Amino acid sequence: MLVQEFAPVSMVSREAREFDFAAVPGKEAAFAKMLERFLKFYSTAAELSHASLGKVLGVYRVLGSGIAVHEMPPEGASLPEKMKDLAGMSSDRLEKKMMLLLDAVSYMHERNVLHGNISLNSIFWDEARQNMVIQGMFCLLERERDVQTTVVHDVNVAAPETLLKGGAYDSRAEVYSLASCFYFLITGEPLIRGDQRFCSAHQTGLASDRHLQSRYSSGFLKSLDRALQVRREDRFASASVWINELKKRA
């Protein structure tokens, strides 16, 4: 099990007992509000169930704060660590595994839940399941078109707009991050960072790559190019929209 505690550094101080918390004087109300959001987020996440989604086993109010208990990800099995093994997988099988990941993120987006930190290091190869599994931090969107501005994300796969000061993180940003991970899986190389793509007008052009065309379906490559558009409005609005578009082309 992996235990995640709610302990924003700027808002809490440790009491004499090692694991007890107290809100910093003057920040009690803000701490209480954030704690309730944390408990609500993970209570919702604990209800999620998908073959390609790591499980939240429970969330608890304890010792003045809160903790979420996650399923422990397989050791040494993140995508960068398993690339040599995955390279031997047939392209048809790998595409199907990526579609299961997309379906998992779509499953979350349909429920107004964001993963919160899609990256190469949050996706694991689960040998027992023979499947890729994504572990989540999770954020709950309480309103349609709601956004998060405090999500911690991997700059190497982050959507360009999220790297700007005050940049919003939403389902379009998660589409980009997931597509960046897929790019790595099918090319073996990381995508140019989003902020650098802003400056270079870099386009992925996966659908016109002859080597990739011989290995992956045209519909998948075209959708990946769209998911990796620099301008957020040119991407799929969510993983659900992305997967529905693929179903239309099938």
Whether 99 and 219 share a structural domain: yes
Average pLDDT rounded to a whole number, residues 21-48: 84
User: Which of 70, 103, 121 is a domain's end point?
Assistant: 70
Position 156 pLDDT exceeds 50: yes
Q: Of 26, 51, 70, which residue sits at a domain end?
A: 70
- Plot region of 3 (φ>0 → left; ψ -120 to 50 → alpha; else → beta): beta
Q: What is the pLDDT of residues 101-146, one digit of tens each?
A: 999 999 999 988 888 889 998 999 988 888 899 987 666 554 444 5
Average pLDDT for 3-26: 67
pLDDT of residue 143: 44
- CATH classification of the domain holding 113: 1.10.510.10
Write the CA distances from 131 to 41, 89, 93, 103, 134, integer angstroms.
Answer: 26, 12, 10, 13, 10
21-25: average pLDDT? 71
Q: Which of residues 27, 46, 70 is at a domain's end?
A: 70
Same domain? 56 vs 85: no
Expressed as residue numbers, the domain containing 8 is 2-70
Q: What is the mean pLDDT of residues 201-206?
A: 76
Percentage, residues of the chain above pLDDT 70: 86
pLDDT at res. 250: 67
